[in-house]
Structures are given as structure tokens and as C-alpha cells.
Amino acid sequence: MFAAFLQYLFSGLTSGAIYALAGLGFAIIYNASHVINFAQGEFIMIGGMASATLVAAGVPMPLAITLAMIISMAVGVALEKFAIEPARNADVVTIIIITIGASIFMRGAAQIIWDKEFHSLPAFSGEIPIAVLGATLMPQSLWVFGVAAVVIVALWWFFNRTMFGKAMLATSHNRLAAQLVGVGVKKVLLASFALSALLGAVGGIVVTPITFTNYEAGIMLGLKGFSAAVLGGLGNGGGAIVGGLIVGIAEALASGYLSSAYKDAIAFVIILFVLFFMPNGLFGKRGTDRV
């Protein structure tokens, strides 16, 4: 009984950590621009696909991972430069639709550049399961937890201890005042896309040895990241992390105790529940200027 529960919990925490990173990506872009970037999932896909195919092509793993992160960030920057920036005077809803279009485009491009197959990446430190109180934990799950934790601490440091991070935060609190102290808000927007793409790529890379990836993997991962962000309160970083873990654990328990058919439905149920009953999420305090 308990062993089964623990097993579901491990699996929920593993995917939850990825949703948390995706949710943080949503939060960062939302804070910089009030745009919900529906291409967030594609950053995860690109990170996974690029690293997997590079390793398969014989590139050493550390180099492949680094390149995959750079590629994803470049895509994030290009998305901002060529799709978001030219439309900066359009209203937020229009820009959100642009991100949906961009996500479709990225999936199409991924299908052409790579293929429709599933790809995997070797686990970083072997596949010998670790026994924990009757349940088993894959070493790669530990990588997922560890990397997510390091990323979260690094983000905290960036936003609270560096001037540019503080400037990004300040821009989210008051754009006009940020401009008046000399913060280049265009630069902030660009940085938010680069950072969100990096977060997505990191999540995609560490989870690919467990879940595999293909050109469409970003759709579900993006939606779950979005539900994490919405549940935590859009724009709230800590909320996105908690939201991600809740979504991950909820879907693991649902597929364990009910049926795995319900796994993907959970995220939708959570999104609908939040939108109907607590539009500001668990920790959000912004008004309801929603789309």
C-alpha cells in the first residue's frame, strides 16, 4: 500500500519538477510583458530533441546538453525579436495568439528538422534503481530533483541579488517607473524570453531519459506548465513551483489509483477549476485583467 503510494509520489514529483520549471518560464514572460507564452512547451521539446539527437550523432553528452540549451535560448530570442517585438503595440491577446502560432510553427519545423519518432537520451548516471521503503527511484529522477532545485536557487539569486534581475522584477511591478530609472524594457523582454527558453530546455533535457520526447511533446508539457503557473497564481514564481509539484503529484495519483487514462485530464481539470473558482490561483494577488 504505502510502497505503491511512494512509487506514485516519486513519479509525480519527477514530472512535477519539470512542470514547475515550465511554470516558472510562463511566470517570467508573464511578468515582463503580461503575455502568456504558449510556445513554452516547445522550448522543452527543443531541449530534449536537440540533446537526444546530438548525443545519438556522437556528440559527447556535456557538449550536446550545452548546445541544446544554447539552441533553445536562440529560438527564444528569435521568437521575441521576430514575432513578439514587431507586434509590441498590439494588445496582449493578439500577442498570445502569436505565441500559439509560433508554437505550431516550431512543431512543424521540428518535424522537418528531426522526424516524428520518439527520441531518448541515456540516463546521466545509469539505470540501476534505488530501493526506498519498498518503492524504487530511478537515478535520473534524482537528477531531475537536483537540477530543478539548483535552477530554482539560481533563479532566486538572479532575481534578488543581481541588479539586472531586480530590474526585471521592478519592470513587472511598475513598467513606467522602471523606464524612468533607466531600465531598458526591451532588453528585459528579450531576457525574459531567453531565460524562459533556457528553463524549458533544462527541464526537457533532464527528463528525456525518463519520458522520451518527440516533436509533439511540448504540447502536453506546455499545458501542464501553464496549469502549474495558473494554479500558483500567474506571475508568482514560488506559486509556479508549488503548482507544478501539485499538478505532477495529482496526475501521478490519478493515473495510479484511477486509470492512466486520466493522467493528462488532470491538468485540464485543474486549469478549469482554478479559472472558475479561484482566478488568482493559490498565491496570486493581481487583479483579474485576464484574457
Partner 1 sequence: MGTLLEIKGLTSHYGRIQALKGIDVTVGEGELVALVGANGAGKTSLLRCISGVQPISGGTISFDGKDITGLAGEKRVPLGISQSPEGRQVFGPMSVEDNLRLGAYIRKGPTIAEDMQRMYEMFPILYKKRELPAGTLSGGQQQMLAIARALMARPRVLLLDEPSMGLAPLLVEEIFQTIVTLKQAGTTIFLVEQNAYAALAIADRGYVLETGSVVLSDSGQALLSNEKVKEAYLGL
Interface contacts to partner 1, rule CB under 8 A: 163, 166-167, 169-170, 173-174, 176-185
Q: Which is nearer to partner 1, 128 or 180 (CB)?
A: 180
Q: Which is nearer to partner 1, 166 or 263 (CB)?
A: 166
Q: Which is nearer to partner 1, 239 or 248 (CB)?
A: 239
| CB of 11 closer than 8 Å to CB of 252 | yes
Secondary-structure percent of the chain, ordered helix, strand, coil, rounded to 5: 75, 5, 20
CB of 186 to partner 1, least distance (A): 8
Q: What's 137's DSSP letter?
A: E
CB of 196 to partner 1, least distance (A): 21
CB of 165 to partner 1, least distance (A): 11
Amino acid present at 202: V
Q: Which is nearer to partner 1, 1 or 176 (CB)?
A: 176
CB of 174 to partner 1, least distance (A): 5
Q: Which is nearer to partner 1, 54 or 240 (CB)?
A: 240
CB of 81 to partner 1, least distance (A): 17
Angle value at C-alpha 106, between 101 and 108, nearest 5 degrees = 95
C-alpha cell at 79: 521568437
CB of 28 to partner 1, least distance (A): 16
Q: Which is nearer to partner 1, 94 or 179 (CB)?
A: 179
CB of 179 to partner 1, least distance (A): 5
Amino acid present at 130: I
CB-based contacts of 156-159 (< 8 A; 24+ apart in sequence) = 159/237
C-alpha cell at 68: 541544446
266-to-83, 174, 247, 262 alpha-carbon distances in Å: 32, 35, 7, 6
Amino acid present at 17: A
Q: Which is nearer to partner 1, 155 or 270 (CB)?
A: 155
Q: Which is nearer to partner 1, 18 or 167 (CB)?
A: 167
Amino acid present at 11: S
Closest CA to 226 of 50, 11, 23: 23
Q: How far apart are CA 218 and CA 44, in angstroms?
A: 6
Q: What's the per-residue H, E or C state across 117-174?
A: CCECCCCCCCCCCEEECCEEECHHHHHHHHHHHHHHHHHHHHHHHCHHHHHHHHHHHC
Q: How far apart are CA 125 and CA 181, in angstroms?
A: 48
CB of 147 to partner 1, least distance (A): 28
Closest CA to 273 of 265, 238, 37, 41: 265
